[in-house]
A and B are shown apart, each in its own frame.
Chain A
Amino acid sequence: MKLIGMLLLVFGGVIAVTAIALLRQPVQQYCFVFAGIALEFLGLTLVARDYAQTQRNAG
């Protein structure tokens, strides 16, 4: 889950950056940039939850 979380962080960043490079319409840019940010927060949540679960299991 940690690896998936990290990959989502990277993919989110790539989506946000390529959106401003490839898209010209502001609305499209905003949608993709926010989608990228949302993906990043999902990834961060996965990494953080994986760590918390590991700590709980370790007791």
Chain B
Amino acid sequence: MSFVLCLLCILLVPFAAAGLTLMHQGLGRSRSAAHTMVSTLCVLAVTSLAFVIVGFSLAGVNGGATHLIGHGSTAWDWAGAEPLFARGVRFDGSTGGLLLCFQMFAAGLAAIIPLSTGSDRWRLAPACASTGLLAAITFPLFAHWVWNGGWLSHLGLNFGLGAGFLDAGGSGTIQVIGGFTALSIAWILGPRRGKFHEDGMAAAIPGHNIVLVLFGCLLALVGWIALNSAAAMLFYGAGIVLVPKILLNTVLAASASCLATVLTTRLRYGKPDASLIANGWVAGLVAGSAGCVFLSPAAAIATGAVAGAGVMYLVELLELKLHIDDPGGAISVHAGAGLWGLLAAGFFSSISSLPRSGQIMAQIVGIAALLGFMLPLIHGLNLLINRFATQRVDADGDRQGMDVRELGAGAYPEFVVHGDEFLPR
């Protein structure tokens, strides 16, 4: 592994966070734009502190100290046991420092995903508390299982299931964890005022700046290539020669997904839908991450195309059937496409000499762990926060917008006049 190249990739990972933030801001309403940006900065700050102080201890490092549960001849490695405050990390050119920095950024990326779902109604303080738990408990736990020598990564070694659970770029570890947190937040907060009429019909509340959204997509691409490359090098020993393949697969998955969304929205609505196309682009990036180093270019295209075609239907299902108000489509894009990406890595990965059925089973067990252990844990922790500090803004805040309610001033004070335009008169 090239230390310098890996460090360079890690330095570029924040571009993915910047891209997602611009998307969240643009897809939200103008009266909460400044609040979204401030929340993002605070969430990133909380993530950095919580992960370095506590999270890295749980995440651990491959071959380091761990908590084990014994079963027969195979021990289940379920959590890291590194010292708090990352005291065990040596900054001497070994991979320890890189692992710490990469996972800190990865946790930050997972933590900003729910901000999109909570847009226009999620108070800043509970958002920071929820983020603290994500960065200190849920993300590090799953990161240990998958990336740092935990039980999911050893499914192949211990139980003969392919090469163990594969998630090179973090489709599950970053995106599904963030997406499930977003789902939990959506359940707890409920919809925005005026989103659903009394007859159950959903009102379209369009984003306020689609140019920012689409620029965010381009920015996210740079960060995603770096994210996938760094993760593949750090956790799967990918050499420098595989970086062009990772780059190609990442771009192909996003491209196929984007075009699939253009096509499906064109067929369904008569014209391509800009915000859904942006979601399709990111869904491709998300789905392609899990197998970025294991897939052939053709498989990356297939993975992206399915993600792009599916994201529109998932957005509709959540909004129209399940009454979940997700302004930025984060649940569909990150949880939905992330789960598909994990499955696709099992179906399409090209690891020679290992039976494909075992690999598919390893991926399914990983998905079962995400649904069965991580989602209840995430939802339980967020309900606990809600018990002590109500996560949703009060009725006044609902009416005024989050900028005025929590920050005292709007993002665009000279240009925008707000009204309750989505409420029946």
A16 to B367 Cα, complex, angstroms: 10
B155 close to A20 (CB less than 8 A): yes
- B357 in the interface (beta carbon within 8 A): yes
- B196 in the interface (beta carbon within 8 A): yes
Contacting residues of chain A (32-52) with chain B, CB-CB under 8 angstroms: 33-34, 36-37, 40-41, 44, 47-49, 51-52
Q: Which of A21, A37, A56, A59 makes the CB contact (< 8 A) with B367?
A: A37
B369 close to A33 (CB less than 8 A): no
Q: Which of A9, A29, A47, A56 makes the CB contact (< 8 A) with B372?
A: A9
Residue of A nearest to B196 (CB): A55
- B53 in the interface (beta carbon within 8 A): no
Given the known interface contacts A6-B376, A10-B376, A59-B198, the answer about A16 and B368 at a Cβ–Cβ threshold of 8 Å is yes
Given the known interface contacts A12-B372, A44-B371, the answer about A51 and B161 at a Cβ–Cβ threshold of 8 Å is no
B322 close to A13 (CB less than 8 A): no
Given the known interface contacts A26-B357, A37-B364, A55-B190, the answer about A10 and B323 at a Cβ–Cβ threshold of 8 Å is no
Chain A residues whose C-beta falls within 8 Å of the C-beta of B191 in the assembled complex: 55
Contacting residues of chain B (28-43) with chain A, CB-CB under 8 angstroms: none
Chain B residues whose C-beta falls within 8 Å of the C-beta of A34 in the assembled complex: 364
Contacting residues of chain B (358-373) with chain A, CB-CB under 8 angstroms: 361, 364-365, 367-369, 371-373
Number of interface residues of B (CB under 8 A): 29
| Distance between B77 CB and nearest chain A CB, rounded to angstroms | 13
- B375 in the interface (beta carbon within 8 A): yes
B365 close to A16 (CB less than 8 A): yes
- B321 in the interface (beta carbon within 8 A): yes
Q: Chain B interface secondary structure, helix, strand, loop or mixed?
A: helix
Q: Which of B76, B322, B368 makes the CB contact (< 8 A) with A36?
A: B368
Chain A residues whose C-beta falls within 8 Å of the C-beta of B74 in the assembled complex: 21
| Distance between B355 CB and nearest chain A CB, rounded to angstroms | 9
- A4 in the interface (beta carbon within 8 A): no
B372 close to A55 (CB less than 8 A): no
Residue of A nearest to B152 (CB): A17
Q: Which of B155, B324, B361, B379 makes the CB contact (< 8 A) with A30?
A: B361
A48 to B317 Cα, complex, angstroms: 11
Residue of B nearest to A14 (CB): B372
A41 to B357 Cα, complex, angstroms: 22
Residue of B nearest to A5 (CB): B376
A45 to B187 Cα, complex, angstroms: 13
Q: Which of A6, A12, A26, A52 makes the CB contact (< 8 A) with B323?
A: A52
A9 to B373 Cα, complex, angstroms: 8
Contacting residues of chain B (289-319) with chain A, CB-CB under 8 angstroms: none
Chain A residues whose C-beta falls within 8 Å of the C-beta of B200 in the assembled complex: 56
Residue of A nearest to B151 (CB): A17
Q: Which of B76, B361, B368 makes the CB contact (< 8 A) with A13?
A: B368
- B71 in the interface (beta carbon within 8 A): yes
- B412 in the interface (beta carbon within 8 A): no
Residue of A nearest to B374 (CB): A13
- B3 in the interface (beta carbon within 8 A): no
Q: Which of A9, A37, A51, A56 makes the CB contact (< 8 A) with B375?
A: A9
A17 close to B323 (CB less than 8 A): no
Name 12 interchain pairs, CB-CB below 8 A, sorted by A.
A13-B369, A13-B371, A17-B372, A20-B155, A33-B368, A40-B368, A52-B322, A52-B324, A55-B190, A55-B191, A55-B323, A59-B198
Nearest 7 Cβ contacts at the A-B interface: A13-B372, A16-B368, A55-B323, A40-B371, A52-B323, A52-B322, A48-B322
